[in-house]
Amino acid sequence: MDFKRGKEGFFMKNSKGQVTIFIIIAILIVAGILAYFFLRSSLTGTTIPSQMEPAYANFLSCLEGATTTGASVLNSQGGYIYLPEFEPGSSYMPFSSQLNFLGNPIPYWYYVSGNNIEKEQIPTKRMMENQLGTFIEQRMNNCDFTSYYSQGFEIFWTEPKSKINIKEDRIEVTLDSALKISKNDETAVIRTHKITMRSQLGNLYDSAKKVYDKQQENLFLEEYGLDVLWSYAPVDGAEITCSPLIWQADEVFAELQEAIEANTFALTTTGERENYFFVDLPVKEEVRFLNSKNWPHSFEVSPAEGSILLSTPIGNQLGLGILGFCYVPYHFVYDMKYPVLVQVQFGDEIFQFPMAVIIQGNNPREPLDAELGESFDSEICEYKNTEITVRVRNKNDVPIEADISYECLANACYIGKTSNSGILVENFPQCINGYVTAKAPGFRDTRYMFSSVSSGNINMIMEKLYSKNVQIKLNGVNFNGEAIIYFVSDDSTKTLIYPEQKIVELGEGQYEIQVYIFRDSSISLEGVVTEQCLDVPRTGILGVLGLKHERCFEIEIPEQTLSQVLSGGGIQNYYILESELMGSNSVEIYTEGLPKPETLEQLQNNHILFESKGLEIRFV
């Protein structure tokens, strides 16, 4: 009994072992089949007859060349192969959406559009991969196999489909396309093609993004720009002199542009941290910053009289002679807009992208708030949905081609230009009590209040300006020495720095004409110390009760020499008729001289006499 049981037990064990063997054999068969197809696919993709290897190597070389070219374009065009839609700039904002660098258009990562909307164009890595894939697919259709066709090869491939993976230090490319190579009786079909190309594109893009984020956070480019402004242009200050301070705006702007170009190029991410030009950035690659005076830029300054920056002295006016000296304070407000090209380099590879630098009112722009998207300013100019017809004429009903703008809530929106018939039909942003402004060469700027909440019409009459030569007659004789001439009207002030400037544009209207004639002087003023006393509130409870006590201060006036003094001129109110402007070539201003002062008292007397001097105006 035990034997049978043992035999039965032995038999049962043997049956289970046979089942196990069958299962293992089945698994091996399935695995073998899968391995066959896998290896077949692998062999089909990578192993081909030796005589066909050169043709396939040419295909892979073409794939690598397309990848290399595409990566190079991504580096040079700020992460773009196919550029976003072009947006032009305007006279207000000089930037378009692209910077032309040596003939190569590069999309700005940050810029301000022509209608004053702040925008970003930063590609993502996925976008770069998609554009590179599209580029490779298109380029592969142009692979050249001419030499192989002449050897009897037949080469065909299906429409390629790519998958790109941009790593930190390499680019992985997988191209799906059934490539069929035949010669004589042999044929090979390769369906999947893979290459890995060494490239720092991924690293460079990541570092470029860190540079951009640092700039948006700290605005270090604007801060360097402000330093240039204060170092190379008159901004705030005062000089002890009785002569006006005069700067040519064009010369100031030219010097600023030269300084911005040189100082931007001097910025560095290497070397000593104590170096003024050292920029601390969280990247290991070398970073360069470029600017060129030939790139679009804009410089504006106020107050200005045309192209002249003028600051007049204090202390030589009537009633201020007690000061005993003259000084000229000045304060000018600048708007500066210019591009900076950022280049991030590792070895021979350079990734570059441009940004706009914006300084407004002597201050850097506000950092871009990522939550705001594209716009930081009022978007009123973007939403133009009310059709308005503007007609612009002169007094004789002759049409004028004029630039039309609309001002609303401190935003100036450029609308367009009237046709040669003087008419513009265009959409305006909706606004209550905005101002329509018309500007045209040879005409006085015209500004009408107009509400654009509903469609309507506006007729604008522009007054013609006449260019006239100005000649000062001092004591009846032509005077060509130094003088300042003001033509002050209700809506503008024209300033001439005579004799360098002798042409003025005038229209009909009431003017106050002022002429200040200066001559060289060497009046010396001794340094003096004077005491000035003021009643100031007492401290504590006594001050609360309004009680005051006298407190005195010493004021020290340093020794100085007056190089120029007032020696002629006067003031005259005069209504200029259009008939006078039409029938004349020039305006002559007759004035009388004042005694040449030799002492401070005589100088003060001259300022008193000046207030009583009139002018004679003649149009000839």
CATH number where 445 lies? 2.60.40.1120
Helix ranges (DSSP H) in 269-358: none
Q: Do residue 299 and residue 420 come from a single domain?
A: no
Residue 411 has pLDDT above 50, yes or no: yes
The answer for residues whose C-beta is within 8 angstroms of residue 311's C-beta and 6 or more apart is: 244, 245, 328, 329, 330
Give the span between the Cα atoms of 205 and 353, in whole angstroms.
Answer: 10
Residue 15 clears pLDDT 80, i.e. is over it: no
Q: Would 58 be classed as within a structural domain?
A: yes
Q: Which of 7-16, 147-156, 317-326, 608-617 has the lowest mean pLDDT?
A: 7-16
Predicted local distance difference test score (pLDDT) of residue 338: 95
Are the beta carbons of 502 and 469 closer than 8 angstroms? yes
Is the same domain home to 551 and 482? yes
Query: What are the b/e assignments for 152-191, b being 16+ CB within 10 Å?
Result: ebebebeebebebebeeebbebebebebebbbeeeebebe
On whether residue 117 sits in a domain, the answer given is no
Domain match, 167 and 224 both: no
Mean model confidence pLDDT for the chain: 83
Residue 428 shares a structural domain with residue 400: yes
Q: Which of 329, 356, 372 is the last residue of a domain?
A: 372
Give the residue with greater pLDDT, 370 vs 79.
79
Structure confidence by residue, pLDDT tens digits, 468-489: 999 999 999 999 988 889 898 8
pLDDT given for residue 37 in this prediction: 39
The C-alpha angle with vertex 605 and arms to 239 and 562, in degrees rounded to 5, equals 25
Q: Determine how β-strand 466-474 pairs with β-strand 586-591.
A: parallel
pLDDT band at 35; cut points 50, 70, 90:
very low
Give yes or no: residues 449 and 572 share one domain: no
Shared domain check, 457 and 310: no
Query: What span, in angstroms and rounded, lies between the C-alpha atoms of 372 and 118?
Result: 10
Contacts with 514 (C-beta within 8 Å, 6 or more apart), sequence order: 484, 485, 486, 488, 569, 570, 571
pLDDT at 86: 84
Alpha carbons 131 and 135: distance in angstroms, whole number: 6
Instruction: Tell me whether residue 8 is in a domain.
Output: no
Specify the DSSP element, H or E, that contains 542: helix 541-544
Q: How many helices and strands in the chain, by DSSP H and E?
A: 10, 35
Q: What is the pLDDT of residues 245-303, one digit of tens each?
A: 889 999 999 999 999 999 999 999 988 888 999 999 999 999 999 999 989 999 999 88
Q: Indicate whether 27 belongs to any domain.
A: no
- Spell out the alpha helix ranges (H) of 436-489: none
For the ranges 26-35, 89-98, 141-150, the maximum mean pLDDT occurs at 141-150
Can you tell me the distance from the alpha carbon of 175 to that of 164, in angstroms, rounded to the nearest whole number? 9
At residue 113, the pLDDT reads 82
334 and 386 fall within a common domain: no
* Structure confidence at residue 316 as a pLDDT band (50, 70, 90): low
Q: Measured between alpha carbons, how far is 358 from 112 in angstroms, rounded to an integer? A: 9
Q: Identify the pLDDT of residue 556.
A: 54
Which domain covers residue 279, as residue numbers?
Answer: 202-372
- Domain assignment present for 90: no
Residue 170 lies in a domain: yes
pLDDT given at position 538: 54
| pLDDT of the residue at 465 | 93
* pLDDT digits 0-9 by tens, 194-222: 999 999 999 999 999 999 999 999 999 99
Tens-place pLDDT, residues 47-82: 678 888 889 999 999 999 999 999 999 999 999 999
Q: How many domains does the chain have?
A: 4
Predicted confidence at residue 281, as pLDDT, reads 94
Considering 28-32, 115-119, 332-336, the range whose residues carry the highest mean pLDDT is 332-336
Distance (Å, rounded) from C-alpha 483 to C-alpha 517? 4
Share of the chain above pLDDT 70, in %: 81
How do residues 539-585 score in pLDDT, each as one tens digit?
554 444 455 667 665 555 556 666 677 888 999 999 999 999 998 99
Mean pLDDT of 418-436: 91
Within this chain, do residues 423 and 283 fall inside the same structural domain, yes or no? no
pTM: predicted TM-score of the whole model, two decimal places: 0.58
- Rounded to whole angstroms, the Cα distance separating 567 from 588 reads 19
> Which residue is it, tokens 């509130």?
537
What tokens does 508 get?
A: 């009909």
Pair (571, 615) in one structural domain: yes
**Same-domain status, 228 and 345:** yes
% of the chain residues with pLDDT over 90: 51
**Contact (Cβ atoms closer than 8 angstroms) between residue 429 and residue 408:** yes
Is the same domain home to 445 and 300? no
Q: What is the pLDDT of residue 535?
A: 61
Report CA-CA distances (Å) from 163 to 70, 136, 141, 602. 14, 10, 16, 89
Q: Could you tell me where the beta strands, DSSP code E, fall in 508-547?
A: 509-525, 528-537
Residue ending a domain, among 372, 393, 420, is 372
Helix (H, G, I), strand (E, B) or coil at 558: coil
For residue 29, tell me if it sits in a domain.
no
Please, are residues 52 and 183 in contact by the beta-carbon 8 Å criterion?
A: yes
Residue 316 is classified by DSSP as S
Residue 324 scores a pLDDT above 60: no
Residues 342 and 306 in one domain: yes
What DSSP string runs through 120-134?
Answer: E-PPPHHHHHHHHHH
- Of 461, 481, 510, the residue at which a domain comes to its end is 461
CA angle (60, 61, 62) in 5-degree steps = 90
